Chains A and B, each alone.
Chain A
């Protein structure tokens, strides 16, 4: 019984010693890193194509009316049947509205229910199957439209 006590005491001493040794052979310091990813929507680019009637193909910059073929906020084009390709950075952004609205009857840019203002994309909270995201928009007649990006 007495020898068992010695064994237990020795084991406990070894365990404490090992813990102390480990603690002394290692030292730690901690830093907190903060980060963010921001997107400037005014730099978002949209590639705009207009359908060429004779072969039903969408061609970028097919007519002068589509110049520039790449649009940024505030750019105006004359178009009736357009296809818009959004850059990856645009369609991965959250909470933005991209609207093409005719200048002849200006609507509130964010009013998606308007029959003439075409909200291209809104609140990108879902995943898109294609990249870059594309959508096709048809206006009642060939008209000058303005691109608006809002958040």
Chain B
């Protein structure tokens, strides 16, 4: 009986420790997360050649347009915009205009980029999200003062920025 009493006493003394050990053991870690700003814009090629034949006289202009290229964009930032710039001004008597369709912002409509060596806005107020396969419209116009041009080219840079 004496040995049994000791055993019971020992168990009763160790039980709180055992209970404490089973109640949980905790450690903490500090997890740092960061979402980087994401901006991405792509185009699916170049527009076809824009050819004006026989510009009319006076103030009238002859114009052709191209709607065959698309752009896609993605951003996790608010109030972004798409701007366009041209590597060299268009020849006198000619105009190059652009329009971008959008579902995430406000299009500025047909914008003259003929002299846009410094960027001009095409779409503003773009909210977070993506816009896929939106139409790019180019319009090329020439009036009677334009010289005959066998072939000219310009590089247009579209930039998604804040």
Complex A-B, nearest 3 residue pairs according to Cβ-Cβ distance, in ascending order: A35-B50, A26-B161, A27-B39
A31 contact set on B, CB distance < 8 A:
43, 45-47, 69, 136, 155-156, 158
Is A21 on the interface with B (CB-CB < 8 A)? yes
Distance, CA A87 to CA B158, complexed state (A): 39
Contact with A along B60-81 (1 / 0, CB 8 A): 0000000001010100010000
Answer whether A37 and B94 are a contact pair too, CB < 8 Å, given A25-B39, A92-B147: yes
> In the complex the two chains form, is A33's CB within 8 Å of B50's CB?
yes
Main SS of chain B's interface residues? Answer: strand
B138 contact set on A, CB distance < 8 A:
33
Distance, CA A89 to CA B45, complexed state (A): 34
> In the complex the two chains form, is B46's CB within 8 Å of A32's CB?
yes
> In the complex the two chains form, is B54's CB within 8 Å of A43's CB?
yes
A88 contact set on B, CB distance < 8 A:
57, 144-145
B151 nearest in chain A by CB position? A36
What residues make up the interface of B, taking CB atoms closer than 8 Å to A?
A: 36-43, 45-47, 49-57, 69, 71, 73, 77, 94, 96, 136, 138, 140, 142, 144-162
Residue from the list A25, A35, A38 in contact with B54, Cβ < 8 A: A38
> In the complex the two chains form, is B54's CB within 8 Å of A40's CB?
yes
Residue from the list B41, B53, B158 in contact with A38, Cβ < 8 A: B53
Residue from the list A24, A36, A94 in contact with B38, Cβ < 8 A: A24
Q: Among A32, A33, A87, A92, which residue has the most Cβ atoms of chain B within 10 A? A: A33
Distance, CA A87 to CA B154, complexed state (A): 30
Answer whether A38 and B51 are a contact pair too, CB < 8 Å, given A25-B77, A26-B161, A31-B156: yes
A101 to chain B, nearest CB (A): 25
What are 5 A-to-B residue pairs whose CB atoms are below 8 Å?
A26-B161, A31-B69, A31-B156, A33-B155, A37-B149
Residue from the list A26, A38, A89 in contact with B160, Cβ < 8 A: A26
> In the complex the two chains form, is A36's CB within 8 Å of B156's CB?
no
A21 contact set on B, CB distance < 8 A:
37
Interface residues of A in 20-55 (CB under 8 A from B): 21, 24-40, 43
> In the complex the two chains form, is B94's CB within 8 Å of A29's CB?
no
B75 nearest in chain A by CB position? A27
Is A67 on the interface with B (CB-CB < 8 A)? no
